[in-house]
A = this chain, B = another copy of it.
Amino acid sequence: MKNKAQIVIKRPEGLPDKSTWELVENEVPELKPGEFLVENHFISLDPAMRGWLNSSRSYIPPVELNAVMRSGSVGKVIKAEGDTKFNVGDFVSGWGGVQQYSISNGEGFFKVDPNKAPLTQYIGTLGMPGMTAYFGILEVGKLKADDVVLVSGAAGAVGSIVGQIAKLKGATVIGIAGGKEKCDYITKELGFDGAIDYKNESVFKGIKTHCPEGIDIYFDNVGGEILDNAMIFLRRNARIVICGAISQYNNSVVEGPKNYMSLLVNRASMQGMVVFDYAHKYSEAVSDLATWIIEGKLKSKEDVYDGIENFHDTFLRLFSGDKMGKLVLKVKETND
């Protein structure tokens, strides 16, 4: 049995080019007792993966050179040796990496039910992006019903859920996204109160128009100029949730928020978050999110591309913005 995998062979500078990874094919090794083999169906493509390619200190160790590229995944257990955490036939989500088959002892994997939700949703709204949105807006952002919430990356996997949760809780929600299609999606399909198309209009003017009394929460996925503009409109005791900074991930020198003294003037705070810290409460979030999905109150889109050989091109869509919702790579070759 052969396994195709994307191996990291070079640390990129700037936007990763094709020479960052190599697609290799190797024999799947024998399982040791306690291990199981997962046939990966879908791989999660997330902005955070760019950071894991750097050699510098972060919230998890960098991906090592010559190792399989780290990623979230969802698939089916097709083989098990001895006493294993999951059984053959179980569907599981975890850190499978960008490859067709993963071997695991179960650490970091959990069981999912393909009858309750499409598999791709377990790496989207019911997976890390959903957990990030849920705890980010509710716990880090300390959302209140009368808040005005501004979200960047608003049509993305995290931003779209953040905005919908905030709406569900009664807040006014404005999203920033790139292009008319995304802006229409968040206002017409997801129910955001307004959208700012950063590719075609001034973000400063957009915030001024949509948030005439300022913002209580800015949920930031992008950093850079948009963060700087958001800071201008902070209200007293506003909270900025730093979830990501996709505009900066490929820069060698990060652009710091030059309007940060707005934090002082407005007694505001800016706090970073890493979703893993909430692992002990994931089930609470999954339960709420699943309920909202079933009730039709929470929508999501997955943008699925096909083929492990297309990993690089698909990954770059995160940075060009040329995707809608959660970006997913299908790596299962057949539809048996």
Spell out A's residues near B (CB within 8 Å). Answer: 57-59, 223, 228, 242-245, 248, 253-274, 277
Partner of A268, one of B257, B259, B266, B272: B272
Q: Given the complex, which residues of B lie within 8 Å of A253, measured CB to CB?
A: 258
Contacts of A255 in B (CB 8 A): 256, 258
Q: Find chain B residues with CB under 8 A from A271 CB.
A: 263, 267-270
Q: Are A269 and B272 in contact (CB under 8 A)?
A: yes
11 residue pairs A–B, Cβ–Cβ below 8 Å: A57-B265, A59-B266, A244-B264, A254-B258, A256-B257, A264-B273, A264-B274, A266-B272, A267-B273, A267-B274, A269-B269
B258 touches A242 (CB 8 A): no
CB–CB B257/A261 < 8 A: no
A259 to chain B: closest CB distance in Å? 7
Please, which residue of chain B has its CB at the minimum distance from the CB of A220? B264
Say whether A59 contacts B264, CB under 8 Å: yes
A260 proximity list for chain B (CB < 8 A): 242, 254, 256-257, 260, 270
Nearest residue in B to A276 (C-beta to C-beta)?
A: B267
Taking CB atoms, residues of chain B closer than 8 Å to A57 are 265
Q: Which of B59, B254, B265 contacts A272 (CB 8 A)?
A: B265
Chain B residues, CB < 8 A from A262: 272
